Amino acid sequence: MESLRLPDCSALIATALDEDFAYGPDYTSLATVPGEARCTADFTAREAGTIAGLGLIEEVLEATAQRLAQWGVDTAGSALADAPAPTITLHSTDGDRVAPGQVIATVQAPALLVLAAERTMLNMVSHVSGIATQTRRWVDAIAAAAADTGTPNSVKQAQVRDTRKTLPGLRALQKYAVRAGGGANHRMGLGDAAMIKDNHVLAVGSVATALRRVREHAPVIACEVEVDTLDQLDEVLLLHPDMVLLDNFALADVHTAVHCRQALSPTTALEVSGGLQLENAGEYGTSGVDYIAVGALTHSVRVLDIGLDFS
C-alpha cells in the first residue's frame, strides 16, 4: 500500500462549517444541553468496510470549537474554555477493515462541541471510508482471481487506479481514500502527466502525431495514450509511450494487447478502462495489464454507514 498521509482539509472543513453555521449556532443543542456538560461518544461502524479519514475527527472538532467561540455563546464558550481539551482515542487506523458494531474512535469532549461537529465529521469520514471500502473490493477481487490460478506468484496483478472523476474541492481527499483502500492514484490534475484522448487525436489526425507533439511540447512529462482499437495500439507502441490506456477493450483483445506490448514495447505500461465491473475485475486484473482504471471509485460511491452515539 502507498504511504498514507491525510491531505490538508482545512479549506474543505471551513466550507462545511460555513454551511452549518450560516444561519446561527446550534440552537437546538443550546436549548437542551447544559453548557458545562461533557460526553463520551463512539464512532461505530454499522456495516463491514474499510476505514479512512480518521484524522478528520480532530481537525473538525478544533475548527468547530473556533466557530462556537466566534458566535460568542456564553455557555459553549465557557465550557470550551474551562473544560479539559477534547480527547480522541482511535481504535482503528486508516486502511483497516472493520466489522459491523466495531468502535473505530471515541471522543470525550463538551457535549455542545460534539453535537455541533457531528454531521461534518460523519459526512466526511463516512464518504472517504465508502471510497476506501469500494476500492478494497476491487483490490480483493483481483487478488482472489490471482490466487485461483494456482500460481499466484507468476500472475501479474494489476493495480486499481482512480480517475479525475472527483467532486470539486474533494479530489485530494477522495484520492487519499483510494490509497487507504489499497489502490493507486492516476494524475492529480492536468499538468502532472499528459493524457492523449480521442478528442486530441481528432484535433491532429492520428494517435502517433498527437504523441509526437506532446513529446515536443513537454518532453519531461510522462504521457499516457488512449487507444480504441488494436490497430491504434500497434501504431502507438512503435513510438514506445510511457503508458497506453485500452479503452473499452473486450477481454480477448486485452490479452492480444498484452502480447503486442511484450513484442513491440515491453517497457510500456498498459491500463484498461471502460466496461469494467466488480464481477469481471479479476479477469481483467490478471490479464497482464498494469492498471485498471475505475472512475466509479469516486464518482458513484456509497458512504460507509458510521454512527456517532453518546455512551
Residue with cell 454551511: 19
Residue 137 a catalytic site member: no
Candidate list 20, 226, 271, 290, residue with the active-site label = 226
Residue 175 a catalytic site member: no
Residue 247 a catalytic site member: yes
Secondary structure, 3-state, the chain: CCCCCCCCCHHHHHHHHHHHCCCCCCHHHHHHCCCCCEEEEEEEECCCEECCCCHHHHHHHHHHHHHHHHCCCHHHHHHHHHCCCCEEEECCCCCCEECCCCEEEEEEEEHHHHHHHHHHHHHHHHHHHHHHHHHHHHHHHHHHHHHHCCCHHHCCCCEEECCCCCCCCCHHHHHHHHHHCCCECCCCCCCCCEEECHHHHHHHCCHHHHHHHHHHHCCCCCEEEEECCHHHHHHHHCCCCCEEEEECCCHHHHHHHHHHHHHHCCCCEEEEECCCCHHHHHHHHCCCCCEEECCHHHHCCCCCCEEEEEC
* Of 106, 15, 24, nearest in space to 60 by CA: 15
Residue 191 · residue 214 · CB < 8 Å:
no
* Nearest-angstrom CA–CA distance, 195 and 105: 41
Candidate list 20, 94, 247, 290, residue with the active-site label = 247
Candidate list 197, 231, 302, 309, residue with the active-site label = 197
Candidate list 46, 119, 137, 213, residue with the active-site label = 119
Candidate list 164, 165, 213, 215, residue with the active-site label = 165
Q: Tell me which residues are annotated as active site.
A: 119, 165, 197, 226, 247
